Amino acid sequence: MKYFDKMNELETQVIRLQDLRGLYNVIINGILNGSSHDDALAAICYIEGSLDDISDEMTKSYYELFEEMRADENNDGKKKAKK
């Protein structure tokens, strides 16, 4: 499980994204059922900020994992070349 930590970070962001989808549905139902404009706007701003954060975290984790895997592949190639 060499890459477990990075995969766990990605999984956490996927779970957050799924939670936001549920929140989005609640907000839409609230808007359709007469929630105040201010409440709806605050909820939408929260979702927007959360999506930005999730995007940043997923991108960071993905590229860190990718670089670790590339470094391992390069190291494995060098080891094979020495044999």
In a domain, 80, yes or no: no
Give the CATH number for residue 19.
1.20.58
In a domain, 81, yes or no: no
In a domain, 11, yes or no: yes
3-state secondary structure of 26: helix
* Residue 82 clears pLDDT 80, i.e. is over it: no
In a domain, 79, yes or no: no
Mean local confidence (pLDDT), 11-21: 92
Number of domains in the chain: 1
* Residue 81 clears pLDDT 80, i.e. is over it: no
Q: Which of 14-23, 30-39, 57-66 has the lowest mean pLDDT?
A: 30-39
In a domain, 23, yes or no: yes
Which domain, by its residues, includes 48?
Answer: 4-73
Integer CA distances (angstroms), 39 to 19, 30, 51, 55, in order = 19, 9, 18, 24
In a domain, 62, yes or no: yes
* Residue 83 clears pLDDT 70, i.e. is over it: no
**Chain centroid, CA 33 distance in Å:** 30
